[in-house]
Amino acid sequence: MNPFRSIWNWILRLEYDWVKVSAGITLFWLIGLIGLVLYPYFVGGKITLGGHKTKMVTLLPTNQKVPLKVVPYDAQELRGRQVYVSEGCWYCHTQTIRTIAVEMARYGAGGIWAPYSRAQEYEYDWPQLMGEHRHGPDLARVGGIVVGWKRDPRTGEMVHIYAKTKYSNGWQYAHLRDPRSLVPGSIMPQFPNLFDQYGRPTQRCRDLVAYLQHLGSAIDWRPQTYKSIQPPPIPIAPGTAVSSSPSPPK
Ligand code: HEC
């Protein structure tokens, strides 16, 4: 006997109670709505992330109301941008914060989420250096805000003064010279070509760091210069004589 025929006959012999069927469909839909939409949105919103009450379902994050003021590069930063391109920093670093809660929390500071990148911020960039690989962290919010101008005694040109940067210029120089001295286990390469034989940053290096401090300058969101990132203690080679006291009892 044709198996399809017998299955079809079996289906025809079933007696559906269409009231129950539609009640089932409605219930299925309701459970789905509660479990997948209402519960994550209203109850799941009680979980915290980065010190913030957050919703698991973030339709559009709300801290984007900060005014956006795109600042053009000064001459030094434009040169620094060329250094950034030619040293291949963009192989490893992106410059775009996506509209994803975890990402905004990750690049935030002091419990405040970093605003996601907006199209206008790339106004003076060609080509845009959004990048495509993240072997290192995103750099879109690594800089600070422009608070004025000063004359650079080295070059005699006018350069931006920055506040609220993530790192000081000194940190950036030390990091470029030897990333692992500040971040043990970092895979970022050293850039000895940016320093002279005495280990002082060259003009190219200064230009590059000026450019880094400009990144993200369109939005004033960071609470202050992010001092909470201190260089971790440099690991001491085994066998080195150090006066170490045992950790206090708990
Ligand atoms: C091989 C990949 C690679 C390249 C090339 C690279 N970096 Fe990095 N970078 C990293 C990684 C990984 C980290 C994270 C660890 C650390 O801080 O050293 C990092 C961290 C950084 C940070 C700190 C970011 C933060 O928010 O903590 C800055 C600034 C930075 N890099 C700038 C540069 C610049 C400028 C260049 C080009 C001269 C460059 N990087 C080239 C991989 C790279």
Indicate if the pLDDT at residue 134 is higher than 80: yes
Q: Whose alpha carbon is nearest atom 36 of ligand 1?
A: 89
For the CA of 179, the nearest atom of ligand 1: 18
Q: Which of 124-128, 137-141, 200-204, 227-231 has the lowest mean pLDDT?
A: 227-231
How far apart are the CA of 136 and the centre of ligand 1, in A?
5
The pLDDT > 90 percentage for the chain reads 51
- Arithmetic mean of pLDDT, 120-128: 91
Q: What is the pLDDT of residue 53?
A: 53
- Arithmetic mean of pLDDT, 17-38: 90
158-176 pLDDT, tens digit each: 999 999 999 989 899 999 9
How far apart are the CA of 190 and the centre of ligand 1, in A?
10
How far apart are the CA of 135 and the centre of ligand 1, in A?
8
Give the count of alpha carbons within 13 A of 94, CB side only: 13
Tell me which of 37 and 136 has the higher pLDDT. 136
Tell the burial category of 215 from Cβ atoms under 10 Å away from its Cβ (0-12, 13-18, 19+): buried
Contact 50, 107 (CB under 8 A): no
Q: What is the pLDDT of residue 60?
A: 44
- Per DSSP, the residues of the chain read --HHHHHHHHHHH----HHHHHHHHHHHHHHHHIIIIIIIIIIGGG-EETTEE--SS-SS-SGGGS-B-PPPP-HHHHHHHHHHHHTTGGGT------S-HHHHHHT-BTTBPPPPP-GGGGTT-SS----S--SS---TTSS-EEEEEEE-TTT--EEEEEES-SS-HHHHHHHHH-HHHHSTT--PPP-GGGB-TTSPBPHHHHHHHHHHHHTTTTB---SSS-TT-PPPPPPPPTT-----PPPPP-
- Which of 85, 93, 165, 176 gets mutated to test ligand 1 (max ligand atoms within 8 A of its CB)? 93
- The reply to whether ligand 1 has any atom less than 6 angstroms from the CB of 50 is no
184-234 pLDDT, tens digit each: 899 999 999 999 999 899 999 999 999 999 999 999 888 776 554 444 444
- Which of 86, 172, 188 gets mutated to test ligand 1 (max ligand atoms within 8 A of its CB)? 188
SS3 per residue for 23-61: HHHHHHHHHHHHHHHHHHHHHHHHCEECCEECCCCCCCC
Contact 206, 200 (CB under 8 A): no
Tell me which of 14 and 204 has the higher pLDDT. 204
How far apart are the CA of 241 and the centre of ligand 1, in A?
33
- The reply to whether ligand 1 has any atom less than 6 angstroms from the CB of 142 is yes
Q: What is the pLDDT of residue 115?
A: 87
Q: What is the pLDDT of residue 226?
A: 58
How far apart are the CA of 227 and the centre of ligand 1, in A?
19
Indicate if the pLDDT at residue 28 is higher than 70: yes
- Arithmetic mean of pLDDT, 100-114: 82
Tokens 């003064």 identify what position? 161
- The reply to whether ligand 1 has any atom less than 6 angstroms from the CB of 46 is no
49-106 pLDDT, tens digit each: 544 555 544 444 445 667 789 999 999 999 999 999 999 999 999 999 987 778 888 8
How far apart are the CA of 179 and the centre of ligand 1, in A?
8
Indicate if the pLDDT at residue 152 is higher than 60: yes
- The reply to whether ligand 1 has any atom less than 6 angstroms from the CB of 174 is no
Q: What is the pLDDT of residue 153?
A: 93
Give the bridge partners for 11, in sequence order.
Answer: none
Q: Whose alpha carbon is nearest atom 39 of ligand 1?
A: 89
Q: Which domains occur in the chain, in start order?
A: 63-214 (1.10.760.10)
| Average pLDDT, rounded, for the chain | 83
The pLDDT > 70 percentage for the chain reads 79
Per-residue b or e along 156-167, where b marks 16 or more CB atoms closer than 10 Å to that residue's CB: eeebbebebbbb
Indicate if the pLDDT at residue 27 is higher than 90: yes
